[in-house]
Amino acid sequence: MRRTLPVLLCLTLPAAAAELPVRSVTLSNAGLMQIERAGSLPPNASITFRAPLEDVDDVLKSLLLRDPAGQVEAVRLPPQDPEAEAFRGLPLRPEDFASRAALLQALRGQEVQAGGTTGRLAAAEESEAGLRVTLLTPEGLRLLLLREGDEVRPTDAALAARLARAAEVVAASRIADER
């Protein structure tokens, strides 16, 4: 019965977005529990619940999802390492957020807009005068001196969104490390 209580607690915490009522709870002699929830959800709605990490395998092995319309799409687990997940497939690491030059160096080869020019980022380095950026344009190499407040923007919206997400994860991990 010791293991039943954590499972009962985790399975009765659905997401605030959609809370389906408990239809039945069945306890077996072996200490297993079945919690059945039923109800209607609007299209594209999702349900989430929390489970202790050590119980996730057992919960997934016994989880049954039914939809009379056959529209159950997926079961997703949040990553154990959100930072690694956010940076997967990106050409940079969390350490590259230490300085703007390091971040831009990690993005070499990506198409960006800077100082009114669009081109592939070839190099970036800090100088006393500002940030020196080299772009490869159709006309050749273009050297730019960017001052405080000047923008360097990826032209690929998907890459820009992933960079923003990675920056959020870096900020969140710094906050989580503080006590």
pLDDT tens, 109-163? 999 999 899 999 999 999 999 999 999 999 999 999 998 889 999 999 999 998 8
Q: What is the pTM of this model?
A: 0.54
Please enumerate in sequence order all residues whose Cβ is within 8 A of that of 123, keeping only pairs 6 or more positions apart, or say none. Answer: 105, 108, 132, 133, 134
DSSP state of 135: E
Model confidence band, residue 2 (pLDDT cutoffs 50, 70, 90): very low
Max mean pLDDT among 10-14, 60-64, 79-83 falls in 60-64
- What is the pLDDT at residue 109? 95
The C-alpha angle 40, 42, 47, rounded to 5 degrees, equals 75
- What is the pLDDT at residue 176? 53
Q: List the chain domain ranges.
A: 4-62, 82-177
For residues 52 and 6, is the Cβ–Cβ distance under 8 A? yes
Task: Report the distance separating Cα 159 and Cα 87, nearest Å.
Answer: 11
